[in-house]
Amino acid sequence: MANIKLAQMDGGTVELPPEALQAFRTAFKGPVLAPEDPAYEEVRKIWNAMIDRRPGLIARCSGTADVVQAVRFARQHRLLCSVRGGGHNIAGLSVCEGGLMIDMSLLRGVWVDPTGRRARAQAGCTLGDVDRETQLHGLAAVLGFVSATGIAGLTVGGGFGYLTRRHGWTCDNLISMEVVTADGSVVQASAEQNAELFWALRGGSGNFGIVTSFEYRLYPVGPEILGGAIAWQGKDAKEVLEAYRKFSAEAPRELTSVAVLRIAPPAPWLPKEVHGQPIVAIFVCHSGKIEDGEALLAPLRATGRPLADIVTRRPYVQMQSLLDATQPKGRRYYWKSHYLPGIGPEMIDTAVAHAARIRSPHSAILMFQIQGALGDLPAEHSPAGNRDAAYVLNITGSWEKPEDDEINIRWARDCFEATRACSTGGTYINFLTEEEGADRIEAAYGRATLDRLAALKRRYDPENLFRHTKSVCG
């Protein structure tokens, strides 16, 4: 058996003899995949097909002990390493080139305490895994919008979804975390234990350690809510967005909505004659009393002449997967994002103009409503911050073929620049692409928070083992 060559943290490489790899495999319970192994190709591929890196080894953890072994192996040989949870992040930083990918995706356990209204979930879980178990008890965690998203990246980057207006960022609703630190120690992080680490991991991304499990606070939701979407022709976009601006600004926290400008997909809920034509759609989720939601939606339903209205009483888990079809694994994705203080006339006009220039039937401009409980906590409560934001603007380029990269990336960048004047100046760390550097990371955190994060990084990971992430070190 030949030596195996692996990338190191300093940019060099190391050749490990067969006995070193065998010793690691013996100490490691889960599969350890090399490029020649049959499962390697499928495991290395992640959601965004624009990311095509090839790790030298993939360590598929079966539990926390495996995570410890992988961290110690990486430290011993000074390996470049990356950490994969759900593999759904736009930047694709869960996969490193030539190094060690520590893969958490087999860790999918969820344990619910319905009396205490809390759940503990392992780091490989998707949103769908957690929703499925918590909804058995009529409870839900504050998670995102696409059920295939991994909870780990979502949570350590802040996290927002249909319940954010009621209960804040996902990370605001953490009770505790189990963390493997850069020295291979296993620690608990909470308000009572390792409080500074707990603070840093609530939005500071993957800079400080590998979270192996999350304990979430749960809330009564469903199991049925009022939710779905209403769609109009693209030519009515300005009228609809004006109505949406007023509707969303006046809505109580139980009601969350998302405005979407895109090309109509061949979805069964849309009339066939509009497939391939511009549309505007409003997705809504009302998690309070059904009858209250029906009354609140009346003005929106009365706007213009809707093409389709599928807002109805439905299971919350179904609402949580309603956008899944727009985000399949294997497409090419390029996103740009801002926080918005509101939706004014300039934002509406700019969004409508750039929606008319969309170059792919899969691309979209989305405005996620988030204002509410975020503002109940001080800005310094967690690195996620940005508690003055009312909406998240996400410009989502999505297409099939590499030869279409340039034209679709240019569209997203143009729309981003045109909407910059409408933003708070902040941005959501989980929506940053790999190319976006220190200035955009500072925009996500602010200078004071970034300095505090950098100090904690030096304390918990002085050698920068966990560098394959959105770095807080500049």
Kindly list the structural domains of the chain, giving each domain's residue range(s) and its CATH number in brackets, ordered by start: 4-103 (3.30.43.10), 110-220 (3.30.465.10), 224-431 (3.40.462.20)
pLDDT in the model for residue 162: 97
Alpha carbons 221 and 202: distance in angstroms, whole number: 23
The pLDDT of 420-435, averaged and rounded, is: 93
And the tokens for 466? 């966990």
* pLDDT at 473 > cutoff 90: no
The pLDDT of 415-419, averaged and rounded, is: 97
* Confidence tier at 251 by pLDDT (50, 70, 90): very high
* Confidence tier at 471 by pLDDT (50, 70, 90): confident
* pLDDT at 1 > cutoff 70: no
Give me the sheet containing 186-190, strands edge to edge.
Answer: 110-113, 118-122, 210-217, 174-180, 186-190
User: Pick from 45, 177, 178, 190: which is nearest to 105 by CA?
Assistant: 45
Alpha carbons 406 and 7: distance in angstroms, whole number: 30
Average pLDDT, the chain: 95
The pairing of beta strand 210-217 with beta strand 308-309: unpaired
Least confident of 16-25, 128-137, 157-166: 16-25
* Confidence tier at 335 by pLDDT (50, 70, 90): very high
What global pTM score does this model have?
A: 0.94
- The answer to whether residues 434 and 91 touch, using CB atoms and an 8 Å cutoff, is yes
What radius of gyration do the chain's Cα atoms show?
22
The pLDDT of 206-213, averaged and rounded, is: 95
The pairing of beta strand 219-220 with beta strand 186-190: unpaired
Alpha carbons 274 and 280: distance in angstroms, whole number: 11
